[in-house]
Amino acid sequence: MEGCFAPGEKIYMVGIKGTGMTALAELLCHDGARLSGSDVPEVFYTDAILRELEIPWHESFDSAHVPPDAGLVIHSAAYDREKNPELAAALAMGLRVLKYTDALGAYSENFDSSGIAGVHGKTTTTALSGVLARAASLPARVLAGSAVGAFGGRSTLILGGKYFVAETCEYRKHFLSFRPRRIVLTSVESDHQDFYPNYESIRDAFVEYVLLLPSGGKLIYCADDPGAAETASIALQKRKDLRLVPYGATAALGQGCDDFAVQNIETKNERTVFSLKGFDEPFTLRVPGRHTVLDAAAALALTVSLLETECAGQRDFTASLKELLPNLRAALESFSGSRRRSEIIGEAGGILFMDDYGHHPTAVKTTLEGLREFYPRRRIVLSFMSHTYSRTAALLDEFAASFDAAGLVVLHKIYASAREQYRGGVSGRTLYEKALERGRKTGRGPEFRYAEEVLEAVPFLRSTLKEGDLFITMGAGDNWKLGKALYGYFRNGDTE
């Protein structure tokens, strides 16, 4: 590695078990860095990855853990430099200290990098970009925001060292550290209300990110998403040198080429079949939802752009793409999703158990509608746990209206964030009452139940779930434990 990272450098990572931190550790380890770190004792899926990489870590935070000869200390944004004893010690020793997003940005400078951004869809789009890059034999590295089955259960895929594709986060403008030559923009709407008080503030942050593109840089954006389309339009007004590539059903009406205009979406035999205007034959997905079709179109647009760069001055791009299309189609159809993105936990007692990270009303609504279309004969039973008081309060009506595709919804307390404290007002029960009120007024919608603590819902759900149901836990909280308990019970009569 060049630039910020020296080959063989000793690096200490605080909060090493986080998904992004472990993924970055894997990339750094591949490039010869000598790594160690620390985190909390709680076991995560990343523990196994760190052990495979033979990276040692402490399960506590102590100033004595920090190697005085470390060339760099990288820390998760969850830890404060002044309050965490290891970070305070590193600074006192004069060591170089970088937040994860800054380290990721520095890493991106070493490659031809592409950033995947958006309020929704960025993890699936990044994962799909990885499987397509592999199908196209592109020398790329990919970093997703969740574990991906096609990546061997990890969040990274290392295929070479020329291109870097990474999921980039909008929270607190973290993505401004990244150095992209291309950006995929999936969606822009109000979110993270503790930092972005209104839609305009978060939109402007995305515009700022797009303006980081170099002259001639490419913005691949979802023309169907009003916020993404508006962001693209504002960015183009400020920078006429940008190259815009729209995708989606309305891409033909957008600014730029229309090769990735989505056409003819059909769902049959638990498969989604769709066409793109610039391609002769259709594509197939076995992951549900029209939103997944959009993510696939975005990933195809990015892959085609990378392939075009790879072919420049060396071989005929059109012929290369035509030759690779069967591989790209097969890669899309084989894609099985990523961890906590409509993830199938298993089937027991004729009940299909799933888990999903959706925690914004738009994501909840589109995911449930996709499942309803994909599994028309199954009753959808949802456990939803809202995340952060500020988001729930700001989007209360939208949340209440997001559950219509389900048959039964169990709501829980709000999953608190370390970045805010409850000061009264909106709670999980508030959302429950709002959803009930909406149902009475509209005369439609699912049945609702409330269980403050997630496992309090176990007895009721054990008695009501039946063969043919689809039970899904959804949210950024810990209600996945409910799905685990119920799956264990229906599989072997055990709630442990």
Let me know if 464 is exposed, middle or buried by CB neighbors in 10 A (0-12, 13-18, 19+): middle
Alpha-carbon torsion angle 45, 120, 107, 7, nearest 10 = 20
Residue ranges of the alpha helices (H) in 6-66? 19-30, 46-52
Amino acid making up residue 460? F
Measured CA to CA, the distance from residue 392 to residue 205 in angstroms comes to: 22
| Predicted pLDDT at 339 | 60
| All residues at 6 or more sequence positions from 386 whose CB lies less than 8 Å from its CB, including other chains | 359, 392, 399, 411, 412, 414, 415, 428, 431, 475, 477
Which CATH number is 343-492's, of 3.40.50.970, 3.90.190.20, 1.25.40.80, 3.10.450.50?
A: 3.90.190.20
Residues of the chain with pLDDT under 70: 1-4, 254-256, 338-342, 417-424, 493-496
Half-sphere exposure of 487 toward its Cβ, with a 13 Å CA cutoff?
A: 18
Domain boundaries of the chain, sorted by first residue: 10-100, 111-334, 343-492
Taking the whole predicted model, whether its pTM rises above 0.85 is answered as: no
Cβ(298)–Cβ(184) under 8 Å?
yes
> What is the rounded radius of gyration, in angstroms, for the C-alpha atoms of the chain?
23
The neighbouring-strand residues paired with 244 are 219
Cβ(463)–Cβ(345) under 8 Å?
no
Q: Sign of the C-alpha dihedral, residues 13, 14, 20, 23?
A: positive
Alpha-carbon torsion angle 319, 323, 325, 326, nearest 10 = 160
Cβ(285)–Cβ(250) under 8 Å?
no
- The total of other beta-carbon atoms located within 10 Å of residue 106's CB is 19
Chain-centre distance for alpha carbon 63: 33
Measured CA to CA, the distance from residue 380 to residue 368 in angstroms comes to: 8
Q: Is 322 helix (H, G, I), strand (E, B) or coil?
A: helix
Chain-centre distance for alpha carbon 320: 30
Amino acid making up residue 384? F
Measured CA to CA, the distance from residue 231 to residue 78 in angstroms comes to: 29
Q: Is 339 helix (H, G, I), strand (E, B) or coil?
A: coil
- Helix, strand, coil shares, percent, the chain, to 5: 40, 25, 40
| Listed residue (19, 27, 217, 191) closest to 114, CA to CA | 217
Helix (H) or strand (E) holding 447: strand 447-450
> In this structure, what DSSP letter does residue 149 have?
G
Measured CA to CA, the distance from residue 410 to residue 485 in angstroms comes to: 15
Measured CA to CA, the distance from residue 208 to residue 188 in angstroms comes to: 13
- The total of other beta-carbon atoms located within 10 Å of residue 311's CB is 15
Measured CA to CA, the distance from residue 101 to residue 76 in angstroms comes to: 8
The neighbouring-strand residues paired with 98 are 74
Superfamily of domain 10-100: NAD(P)-binding Rossmann-like Domain (3.40.50.720)
| Predicted pLDDT at 103 | 96
Here the tokens at position 175 are 């993505």
Which CATH number is 111-334's, of 3.40.1190.10, 3.40.50.720, 3.30.70.270, 3.40.50.2300?
A: 3.40.1190.10
